[in-house]
A and B are shown apart, each in its own frame.
Chain A
Amino acid sequence: MSIKGPLFSEYSLTNDVYDEMFDKKSVRSPYSSLFHYINDISAMDLAKKEELAKKIFISQGITFTVYQSGEGIEKIFPFDLIPRIITASEWEFIEKGITQRLKALNLFLIDIYSDQFILKDGIIPIETIYSCPHYLREMQGMPVPHQIHIHISGIDLIRDTDGSFLVLEDNLRTPSGVSYMLENRGITKRILPDLLPRNNVRTVTNYPNSLYQNLVDISPRSSQPTIVLLTPGIFNSAYFEHSTLARLMGIELVEGRDLVVDDHKVYMKTTNGLKQVDVIYKRVDDEYLDPLVFNRASLLGVPGLLSAYRKGNVALVNAPGNGVADDKAIYVYVPDMIRYYLNEEPILKNVITYQLSILEEKEFVFANITNMVIKRTNASGGYGMLMGNSATEIEISAYKEQVNLDPRSFIAQPIINLSTSPCYIDEKIQPRRVDLRPFALYGPNGIEIVPGGLTRVALRKGSLVVNSSQGGGSKDTWVLSKSKQDA
């Protein structure tokens, strides 16, 4: 079936790569209405829509600032206007899989900071935990309100060759991107009129309300709690997200210097004296949170904050110390955690992962290095990676040397063929690799995953790295409702 118009003329599929829109030559049925819309539109109109999307981002200030020679340059996160579609049954599967995984990860955090049964039973080696830089000794025995550690998470999923979803990474500390999920949808509403209702796309706009309700529910004081979002400030690259969430929830956006701890209670400094704070949604990294406990030079944090938390006078979201659960070396053990804590088989599978601290695995990885990606266990954002298929001999041998110095800090995974999705680039529709980050909220009433998420795109041709710091962009993500049954 060759119904493709000129915009799709150069769209080619790669062997062994799942394409989100096309199954061999034909359009997958959930995509048919979207495909026809784009196929029928003139190249000029599509270019206009793209231009309009850019203008909206700039004028709304949905930007991050790059500082060059003293002058701030405003940049927008690249947005691709062709949405990515998840069917109702796919979503149901993802929802179940993530819920299961989060339950296990939360039980793991409760356990690891109290009795540590999982270590005593030999499921996870003790060294793996104690060598993790994000394991916080200060959290040992800490009473955590409602025993919830992972209030907010973003689990990164990818699609393998056969179309099945795999977990690439758990983000359990301060996952970002949810504001882009909301803004991308806002743009789609404007530039692709009527397509959302016509396709029965589920709404994402409830996210701020759900989050706010969870924050209220965990407050130590019940009546009219004061809830704040703690940001490092306007120079942080995620500042736009911080202020957007604060505004959408109607909570106070504070910096460390706005807060003060007195008698183990947290207060904010107002024009009318001090006002007690009950819940802090922190977007400052753990190590900067409290200079009395962690990094002493930190100006971003609040001295005494952790003691107020220990006394139960303030709730922190997420709980500090979650980094021990999303460390890449711990990732390997998540399927075991699910079996250990829940007595269930994992619904969402991990990507095969080799631990370079194990000699045989390291040797195997080094022997097959051109098919491997090696990552630092404590890094994120696509930094410090080696892509075996594109690195030079010199880069590989230099990297091997680093691995040999400290094998615990590295893991390797076979290079996965992330699925491709049609993107509008250089006035043509071209395939680019994508992943998916759904956002989950864990409150006293259970786990809720907003039907949507952030689809990140590797905009460079052939690239497999979707991180925004590495030239990635994003797409609006449509989760279809059940009434529009998928084929």
Chain B
Amino acid sequence: MEEVKTPGYYQNQNKMLSRVADSLYWMSRYMERTDGILRMLKVNYISSQDDFAEFSWEPVLKIFSFLDKEEINKIKRNTNEVIRFMVCEYENQNSIRNIVTKSRDNAKSVQDHITKEVWQCLNEYYHLVKELNLENSVLLEEPVSLLDNLIKQGMIYYGTLEVTMARGEGLYFMHIGKYLERAIQSIDILNVKFNDLSFDLESGNDSPYWNYLLYSISGYEQNLKTYRAGSQAQNTLHQIMFNENFPRSILYSLNRLMIYFGRLKSTTNKDYHKILFMLGRLHSKVQFSDLETLSETGLPAFLSALRGDLIKIGEALDMYYFSYSQ
């Protein structure tokens, strides 16, 4: 289509400062991580209140914190302490307080590349979590409201982004960060939930267990409509792994990654094709797998290979697009 140009029209496409692209990408990744961790906490909290005698926060802490075994053992059965630790502990690098702060710091350094509304939204989120004091707080009496409130702040961020941000390179880097992080989060959620069942796909047909997971990632209704029979463990796994219409699925995230990365196509950055190759190969690997291939490889091995590939793509972006220190 022929581009309509007015005399003042100045096309400034795909020439963004590497530092700015880096900050937008990380701002977005941290927001996605925030969302993932909050949802993870919510589903586990609800599970912990059910009659699972064996419930422990160990898998969550193992994946989302940097605590050692001894420290994990100390708090793994103390729900309030885990939630406090995961939401506002300064010493925990992945606490909501710390990652929202990191996201907002990135936003702060690129304020001229995001809309005032997006900046304000992140800034308000930052002040909200900064002022949270969960030490002996009544908020912990009913953590679901607390977590919902924080999740909602993230939803406002997504909406504001969608409505106000200009379509262009900056937004593509944000989306790339978002979907890369989301794919990793979904892998981590599967890891935690199947770890509870020792990765046995045949067991664990306990309905509430999966329902809570699906509720927390807004996948319950879709699950009901799409999967009418069979093992619930396998259906849930299929939904989170392969369902292209489920926005949290790994395949959906990879589809979006292909689209947004494709928009960075350029004649001057020769390394574009290197990343495109990595991404395309990973995408095909997931697209042309099914539950059968999964059980052949073994779920833990499959997930860990997938996660490794995503991390490598992140490193390649860093090297070919963001490295501004010569």
Q: Residues of A with Cβ closer than 8 Å to B?
A: 58-61, 71, 74, 224, 233-234, 239, 243-244, 246-247, 250-255, 257-258, 260, 268-273, 275
Contact = CB atoms under 8 A, between A and B. Distances in A.
Contacts of A252: 17, 20, 112
Contacts of B321: 271
6 tightest CB-CB pairs across the interface, nearest first?
Answer: A243-B111, A246-B112, A247-B112, A61-B123, A270-B15, A253-B112
A258 B110 CA distance: 13
A272 B326 CA distance: 15
A247 B15 contact: no
A257 B324 contact: yes
B311 to A, nearest CB: 21
B19 A272 contact: no
B15 A60 contact: no
B14 A260 contact: no
A270 B111 contact: no
A260 B326 contact: yes
Given A60-B120, A252-B17, A224 B264 contact: no
A411 B326 CA distance: 46
Given A247-B116, A271-B264, A58 B269 contact: no
Contacts of A250: 112
A258 B269 contact: no
A195 B51 CA distance: 64
Given A247-B111, A269-B324, A271-B169, A61 B15 contact: no
A61 B19 contact: no
Given A58-B127, A60-B123, A224-B10, A275 B108 contact: no
Contacts of A243: 108, 111-112
Contacts of A258: 17-19, 324
A257 B268 CA distance: 21
B132 to A, nearest CB: 14
A260 to B, nearest CB: 7
A257 B325 CA distance: 7
Contact of B21 (A224, A268, A271): A271
A255 B19 contact: yes
Given A61-B123, A271-B264, A272-B266, A234 B108 contact: yes
A250 B108 CA distance: 16
Contact of A273 (B21, B105, B112, B269): B269
A34 to B, nearest CB: 29
A270 B127 contact: no
A449 B21 CA distance: 36
Contact of A61 (B21, B108, B112): B108
Contact of A234 (B20, B105, B124): B105
Given A252-B17, A257-B324, 10 more contacts: A59-B123, A244-B111, A270-B15, A270-B16, A270-B18, A271-B15, A272-B16, A272-B268, A273-B268, A275-B15
A71 B97 CA distance: 12
A261 to B, nearest CB: 12
Contacts of A244: 111
B325 to A, nearest CB: 6
B119 interface: yes
A169 B236 CA distance: 71
B269 A272 contact: yes
Contacts of A247: 111-112, 116
B272 to A, nearest CB: 9
B145 interface: no
B109 interface: yes
Nearest to A246: B112
A253 B14 CA distance: 16
Nearest to B124: A59
Interface of B: 10, 14-21, 90, 105, 108-112, 116, 119-120, 123-124, 127, 169, 173, 264, 266, 268-269, 321-322, 324-326
A471 B50 CA distance: 56
Contacts of A260: 326
Residue of A61, A234, A255, A269 contacting most chain B CB atoms (<10 Å): A61
B133 to A, nearest CB: 14
B17 A270 contact: yes
B25 to A, nearest CB: 10
A61 B108 CA distance: 9
Nearest to A260: B326
A183 to B, nearest CB: 12
Contacts of B21: 271
Contacts of A234: 105, 108-109
A361 B131 CA distance: 56
18 contacts: A59-B123, A59-B124, A60-B116, A60-B120, A60-B123, A234-B109, A246-B111, A246-B112, A253-B110, A253-B111, A254-B17, A257-B325, A260-B326, A269-B326, A270-B16, A271-B18, A272-B14, A273-B269
A275 B18 CA distance: 11
A270 B119 CA distance: 22
Contacts of A268: 17
A464 to B, nearest CB: 35
A250 B10 CA distance: 12
Contacts of B109: 233-234
A124 to B, nearest CB: 41
B111 A271 contact: no
A243 B90 CA distance: 28
Given A61-B108, A233-B109, A272 B15 contact: yes
Contacts of B120: 59-61
Q: Which of B10, B111, B169, B268 has the most CB of A within 10 A?
A: B111
B70 to A, nearest CB: 26
B18 A59 contact: no
Nearest to B127: A58
A58 B127 CA distance: 9
Nearest to A228: B17
B273 to A, nearest CB: 14
A251 B321 CA distance: 21
Contacts of A58: 127
Nearest to B107: A61
Contacts of B16: 270-272
Contacts of A61: 108, 111, 119-120, 123
Contacts of A273: 268-269
Contacts of B10: 224
Nearest to A61: B123
A247 B118 CA distance: 13
Nearest to B324: A269
A254 to B, nearest CB: 7
Contacts of A255: 19
Residue picked from A59, A74, A255, A269, most chain B C-beta under 10 Å: A269
A394 B6 CA distance: 70
A69 to B, nearest CB: 11
Contacts of B127: 58-59, 74
A269 B18 contact: yes
B17 A269 contact: yes
Instruction: Give the most central of B18, B90, B105, B173: most A CB within 10 Å.
Output: B18
A381 to B, nearest CB: 23
A67 to B, nearest CB: 13
A319 to B, nearest CB: 24
B86 to A, nearest CB: 19
B19 A257 contact: yes
Nearest to B14: A272
